[in-house]
Amino acid sequence: MTLDVTPELLGRSAVSNCRSNAGEYQNCVGCGIRRFAVCGALAENELPEIEAIVQTRRYEPRQTIFQEGDTAHAIYTITGGTVRLQRDLPDGRRQVIGFAVPGDFIGLSLEESFTFSADMLTKGTICAFDRTKFTGLLTKKPALMHRLHAIASHELGIAQEQMVLLGRRRADERVAAFLMSWGQRMRHPNGVAVTLPLPMGRQDIADYLGLTIETVSRTLSRFFKERILLDVPHGVRVLDPERLRAVVV
Amino acid sequence: MTLDVTPELLGRSAVSNCRSNAGEYQNCVGCGIRRFAVCGALAENELPEIEAIVQTRRYEPRQTIFQEGDTAHAIYTITGGTVRLQRDLPDGRRQVIGFAVPGDFIGLSLEESFTFSADMLTKGTICAFDRTKFTGLLTKKPALMHRLHAIASHELGIAQEQMVLLGRRRADERVAAFLMSWGQRMRHPNGVAVTLPLPMGRQDIADYLGLTIETVSRTLSRFFKERILLDVPHGVRVLDPERLRAVVV
DNA sequence: CGGGTTATTGATGGTGTTCAAGGGGTGTGG
DNA sequence: CCACACCCCTTGAACACCATCAATAACCCG
């Protein structure tokens, strides 16, 4: 048994992300994103054990999944749609911690309460695992535990990269870096002009990048004018990936 | 078996941090920080198994432990001294990811190469585990695996808090928040005026907080003038913990 | 259409950076 | 033990980037 996680395992398929009406899975066997999710650590004959503790839920845009401080009765795997994760300051300032897409796991820490809130940006479907039962299953399935740790480690690396972005990058670098990383999660090959769906609003991007909505808007406008990007409804088309990459350095 | 980690387990003792000449441990049985470290997941009779794959190393100030991109032959537990973890940008910009103190684990991800570098700020001692052998041990010791994941989750939470700081906090809030969290790691009770050792320089604090050395210096000077802090060699004395806390909001 | 939300664009200003100079501590060597 | 050099830190002044304030425009759904 190895603890290494291949990029493929942690990546997401373009298919699962890009179809907005994804996530109609009646059972784990037929689940298209299983191999990208925690459940992928289990063999097919073990799936009934996880099906026993899972509940599929359907969400509407703007619906809250849980809030900071809530007791973590359940932990989640996203199977369809995009989720916004955020922390709030008492005075209204907000930091978006990340965006979760199909295959992503929420509640890695297994702790009793959540330290951030989660809201749907789009319609979506989510597998909710009873937290206590899930941790119980972990003690019986080392492979699941290993996978969970690999995912947590991967998230930690992403968080550190985000610290560099927030601490040391300029506004245009932040926006470019965001678009590149979002593009990678959408599984579009680098170096090719592609259309990126952006299910989050400008304010969400701003709160993710530690900027204001005006700065994000201005920066994108500049990229549009410079023909690095093309403005399309609910997204952008990357016209010049090379120059976009060059912005980040 | 529970996966929850009590604050005590993840906290650090003031004793182990504050003695600068800590870390003279001949074996794991007598190791004073074991209960705060990963190794604490093992029973005493299991210690020989980890002693078999560990090597104690002694470091001098400014010495490099490893650099970004290096192959991770070993992973580490700090037993004495303070370590600076950082990522560098090609143009010289630098983000300090964190400071590791006795009990902390470095190399949580178990991946083949490091994504950040680690340097000693002080003299120190470190337990170096052969990475391959350590991951092998993990498959045999579920408790060790669970502990590792709990630590990684805890680090992830800290990283998210740091994102809020870097993305949404003002300079004085950042400095105050840093001093408070550093104080907690030094295990000084809140609400009491205490002397905090600061083994890192102003530039390190600046690169941790996403500021310049001048801003850190100016902010500290303001706190000194306002009698919130008292300037002491290689550290600060917290005169008014309440007002320091009030700065952060 | 029309009302509300979200995004864009412009003008102005503030927080923190940059540039520059001086101060203070530490360690070393005479 | 003092002198000096070096490094780090502090402080000041000017500037820049991004935030704030403000108004308009585009979009979305009803």
Residue-wise pLDDT tens digits, B88-139: 999 999 999 999 999 999 999 999 999 999 999 999 999 999 999 999 999 9
Contact flag, residue A92 CB and nucleic strand D, below 7 A? no
Strand D contacts in B 185-214 (CB under 7 A): 201-203, 213-214
Section B26-51 average pLDDT: 92
Give the pLDDT of residue A187: 76
CA distance B127 to B25: 10
Section B38-53 average pLDDT: 96
B24 token code pair: 């003279």
CB contacts, 8 Å: A168 with chain B: 89, 93-95, 207, 210
Q: What dihedral do alpha carbons A128, A133, A135, A139 form, nearest 10°?
A: -130
Section A93-119 average pLDDT: 97
**A202-209 and B142-168 helices cross at what angle (nearest 10)?**
110
Give the pLDDT of residue A26: 63
User: In whole numbers, what is the pLDDT of chain A averaged over residues?
Assistant: 90
Give the pLDDT of residue B189: 62
- CA to C1' distance (Å), from B94 to D6: 24
Sequence-distant (6+) residues with CB within 8 A of B8 are none
User: Mapping DSSP to helix (H, G, I), strand (E, B) and coil, where does residue A145 land?
Assistant: helix
Residue with tokens 């839920």: A57
CB contacts, 8 Å: A111 with chain B: 4, 153
Give the pLDDT of residue A243: 97
B236 token code pair: 């600060």
Contact A157, B110 (CB under 8 A): no
Contact A224, A230 (CB under 8 A): yes
Q: What is the pTM of this model?
A: 0.91
Residue with tokens 């010791």: B141
Contact flag, residue A231 CB and nucleic strand D, below 7 A? no
CA distance A81 to A61: 9
Cα–Cα distances in angstroms (integers) from residue A225 to residues A101, A202, A220, A239, in the given order: 30, 18, 9, 12
Give the pLDDT of residue A99: 98
CB contacts, 8 Å: A89 with chain B: 164, 168, 249
Section A159-180 average pLDDT: 98
- CA to C1' distance (Å), from B198 to D11: 22
Among B178, B143, B194, CA closest to B3: B143
In strand D, the nucleotides that come within 7 Å of a protein beta carbon are 8-13, 17-22, 27-28
Q: Which is higher by pLDDT, B5 or B42?
A: B42
Section A178-186 average pLDDT: 94
Amino acid sitting at position B21: N
Contact A77, A107 (CB under 8 A): no
Q: Tell me how long chain A is.
A: 249
Q: Quick check: B191 pLDDT over 60?
A: no
Classify strands A117-120 and A105-106 as parallel, antiparallel or unpaired. Answer: unpaired
**Residue B190's pLDDT band (cuts 50, 70, 90):** low
Give the pLDDT of residue B62: 95
Strand D contacts in B 115-154 (CB under 7 A): none
Q: What is chain A's Cα-based Rg?
A: 18
Strand C contacts in B 166-185 (CB under 7 A): 170-172
Q: Quick check: B6 pLDDT over 60?
A: no
**Residue A51's pLDDT band (cuts 50, 70, 90):** very high
Residue with tokens 């104690």: B56
Contact A23, A43 (CB under 8 A): no
Contact B70, A139 (CB under 8 A): no
**Residue B4's pLDDT band (cuts 50, 70, 90):** very low
Give the pLDDT of residue A197: 95
Give the pLDDT of residue A27: 85
